[in-house]
C-alpha cells in the first residue's frame, strides 16, 4: 500500500513538472513561432543592450519581430512585437519607445510595458507574448 501511495505521489509530482518555466497564455490571436536567436553584445548593432534601459528590435524572427530590453544588466526581456489583442495584420506591428510598445491600429489605444508585457490600462487583455532569454557572458540567447 505504501508503494502504491509513493508511486502515485511521484507520478503527480513528475506530471506537474514542465520544461517551460514561463507563464504562457493561450492567446488565440498569435501563433507560437519557432524562435532561436543569439545576440553577441560585442557587436555594434547590439551595443545598446549593454546598458540598462537599452533596447533592440529584431525583425528577422517572431511574427512581427521581437523587442529585447535590458532592465538592469542582470535581467533582460524579449517580447513579440505583434499586438497580442489583434490577429496579425498590416497595422498590428507595435512601435517601441522604451519602455512602452504601442499598437498603431486606429481601432484602439493598446500600449504595453516591455518590462512586464502587461497592457498599460486594461489588465484583462492579453499580455505581450514573451520569449525566454538567457545571458552568458556577452551572448544573449532568445528562444521559446
Q: Where are the domains of the chain?
A: 39-143
Alpha helices (runs of H) in the chain, residue ranges in sequence order: 2-16
- The residue among 80, 88, 72 whose CA lies nearest residue 131 is 80
| Segment 129-141, tens digit of pLDDT | 999 999 999 999 9
- The residue among 48, 81, 54 whose CA lies nearest residue 70 is 54
* Residues found in the chain: 144
| Segment 69-116, tens digit of pLDDT | 999 999 999 999 999 999 999 999 999 999 999 999 987 889 999 999
Class of domain 39-143: mainly beta
Give the predicted TM-score (pTM) of the model: 0.82
Amino acid at each position: 500500500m505504501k508503494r502504491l501511495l509513493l508511486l502515485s505521489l511521484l507520478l503527480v509530482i513528475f506530471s506537474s513538472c514542465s520544461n517551460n518555466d514561463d507563464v504562457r497564455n493561450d492567446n488565440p490571436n498569435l501563433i507560437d513561432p519557432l524562435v532561436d536567436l543569439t545576440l553577441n553584445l560585442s557587436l555594434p548593432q547590439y551595443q545598446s543592450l549593454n546598458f540598462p534601459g537599452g533596447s533592440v528590435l529584431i525583425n528577422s524572427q517572431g511574427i512581427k519581430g521581437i523587442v529585447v530590453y535590458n532592465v538592469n544588466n542582470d535581467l533582460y526581456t524579449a517580447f513579440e512585437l505583434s499586438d497580442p489583442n489583434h490577429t496579425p495584420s498590416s497595422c498590428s506591428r507595435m512601435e517601441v519607445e522604451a519602455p512602452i510598445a504601442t499598437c498603431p491600429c486606429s481601432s484602439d489605444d493598446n500600449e504595453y510595458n516591455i518590462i512586464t508585457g502587461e497592457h498599460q490600462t486594461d489588465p484583462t487583455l492579453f499580455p505581450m507574448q514573451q520569449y525566454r532569454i538567457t545571458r552568458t557572458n556577452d551572448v544573449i540567447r532568445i528562444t521559446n
